[in-house]
A and B are shown apart, each in its own frame.
Chain A
Amino acid sequence: MLKIVDLHVRVAGKEILKGLSLEIAAGEVHAIMGPNGAGKSTLGNVLAGREGYEVTAGTVEYQGRDLLALEPEERAAEGVFLAFQYPVEIPGVNNTYFLRAALNAQRKHRGEAELDSMQFLKKVREKLAVLHLKDELLHRAVNEGFSGGEKKRNEIFQLALLEPRLAILDETDSGLDIDALRMVADGVNAMRDPARAFLVVTHYQRLLDYIVPDVVHVLADGRIVESGDKSLALKLEEHGYSWIAGRHVPAHDGAGAGG
């Protein structure tokens, strides 16, 4: 589904990703772990199409297409979803109105019929029930005045509603207490599907107790330096990121394709 080859990305003139390669097949859940500053959030942002991320080399192929050539909204309509690390507050834009407009824009792009407000509300109610969220969320402006946990749950609610094929979760666990973390994980697990892939970016192993990955990658200094199964996450937790740094001296080319 997703094939990243030798990706180099600069942000504000500084190279952050330095030859990252990664391959994810439909139905798989990949976790990317790494120390602060390794380039984890850069990866999510560049896949979603954020401006200011300059790709200087490498390719990203998504469902056989050049992902980097698409506008952010085209990527969304093609099934790419980024759950933001810091969801933006947008005063004055109603959550329901925004989500219906977004879903219908995606459906229109794909040549599907748009949903009227009754159909949309039915779908919304189903998803809210699965995530144990209150209706009240819908009547508020997008993320405005939401607590950190509410913002993250709203991201997962949007994920459930938009039903993407490739979901990227950028440190969705940060700032969550254990109950909220479980709720987020339940939401993600309910979405696991042979046709859908997840890329779960996290700093801590804790989330992976609840969202069990098929593959774990370690991102350090802009590259994947090690890949393995879920036990790799446990080893990292035990030994810390310095353990990885010790195993991979800078001269070593540790870029590995997972999957």
Chain B
Amino acid sequence: MSALLESLLGERAAPVALAGVREAAIAALRERGLPGPRDEAWKYTSLRALEQRRYADGDCGARTRAIDVAFLPGPSAARLVFVNGIHREDLSEVGADTGLGIERLGERPDELAAILRSAPPVDAFGELNAALALDGVRVRVAAGARIQAPVQIVHVGTPADGDVAWSLRVQVELGDGAQLRLIEHHVGSAANANLGSIVTAYRLGARARLDLVQLQDGAEGAGLVRRSDAVLGTDAILDLHTVEVGAQLARHDLVVALEGHGARLRSRGVFALRGRQHADTRLAVTHVARDTACDIAWRGVADQRSRGVFHGAITVAAGADGADAQLSNKNLLLSAQAEIDTQPVLEIHADEVKAAHGATVGQLDERALFYLRSRGLPLDLARRMLVAAFCGAVLDGLEPALRARVDALLAARLPQAEATP
């Protein structure tokens, strides 16, 4: 048993209602241990850097600490702010939209326990999340309700007396025909090396539509392990944009089950890394029902000594005829020391299926770079322009205000001239 796991599973206070589910998760995790290099799903992402770390629990002042964060502009139906995994009433706002229900799970341990029991963890970080989650939120949209302004869930990392490990559980439920825009924003209010874990379940009823934006701009020393688990009903639509530029070590498992006839996933993702950042995105999309569709385009940029991992698996189950599965992953290496590993995997058990997948790893087009420089653009500006264009190719679906924010985020993170030897 690693020191890391001992530190994570040390004595922690928890409500009685959670005791059973926590004990079960802890026992399972002690049995399984954290994933190592022989674990296929963690082949490219080593936890060794975390092994000697110690994480404190408790809020370490998270309930009261002043934070400095630029929240996303524009109106919102609700803004729920968590600082180091602890809900902050004073920073949150909840409007009064009809059909929108928001419950804080920290105040309802029975509900939290029920949610944890309803979806037993399938891996070590799922168990860790179940063992540690004390707080979270459930967002429910009633059948037929269309919520106009987006709901924002903001995760703020901030320094505490020691590094903090936190876990959250989020449940998003859309009734039949319901519509919601949801923005998940991860941001650091200052440098910190906290380790966060979030498991989010999205349940979309028939004809429901969820427009989901995930913006991960965590502090560069932080660790973040996320699992986004979506189940789509008949003719439901999940439209997802994921932008990942922050954290030292980021892992995101995106698991989507197209369970209802005609369910559709459209997803666009970008990661842009530098320094020694490591980001691992693992997609598992399953076409369960007939005439389901997924359209996935992901782009990655790695500079300096960073490393990006993309594993995109699409499974078309037996009987899911008429499925349409499209996956493209294009990557850009900006330095000789950067690395990107990409692996598209297509597994088809049905007959009439339309499927295409492709992945590339390349470098900036020298011809384009010279063209821009020959017009007077300095090398670093020319490079940034080309990288921004590369990333921007999958961001056209974002609404303008968010797009501007994402562009600024990418521009601020993207390579400077000295980045490449």
Contact = CB atoms under 8 A, between A and B. Distances in A.
B363 to A, nearest CB: 13
A20 interface: no
Interface residues of A, number: 31
A23 interface: no
A176 interface: no
A77 interface: yes
Given A93-B385, A93-B386, A73 B371 contact: no
A127 to B, nearest CB: 14
A91 B381 contact: no
Main secondary structure of the interface of B (DSSP, over half): helix
Given A77-B376, A92-B389, A101 B381 contact: yes
A88 B368 contact: yes
A109 B372 contact: no
Interface in A89-112: 90-93, 98-99, 101-103, 105-106, 109
Nearest to A92: B389
B20 interface: no
A162 B375 CA distance: 8
Contact of A102 (B365, B377, B389): B377
Contacts of A48: 370, 374
* Most chain B beta-carbon neighbours within 10 Å: one of A76, A88, A91, A109: A88
B373 A92 contact: no
Interface residues of B, number: 23
Given A88-B368, A101-B381, A82 B374 contact: yes
Nearest to B370: A50
Contacts of B372: 90, 93, 98, 102
A186 B376 CA distance: 25
Interface in A68-94: 71-73, 75-77, 81-82, 84, 87-88, 90-93
Given A50-B370, A88-B368, A73 B389 contact: no
A93 B371 CA distance: 12
Contacts of B392: 92
B161 interface: no
B412 interface: no
A90 B381 contact: no
B27 to A, nearest CB: 51
B41 interface: no
Contact of B375 (A50, A76, A91, A109): A76
A102 B371 CA distance: 11
A92 B390 contact: yes
A80 to B, nearest CB: 8
Nearest to A77: B376
B346 interface: no
B379 interface: yes
Given A48-B370, A84-B374, 20 more contacts: A48-B374, A50-B370, A73-B373, A73-B376, A73-B377, A76-B374, A87-B371, A88-B370, A90-B368, A90-B372, A90-B389, A92-B388, A92-B389, A92-B392, A101-B385, A102-B377, A105-B376, A105-B377, A106-B376, A142-B371
10 contacts: A73-B374, A73-B379, A88-B368, A88-B370, A90-B368, A91-B389, A93-B385, A93-B389, A102-B377, A105-B376
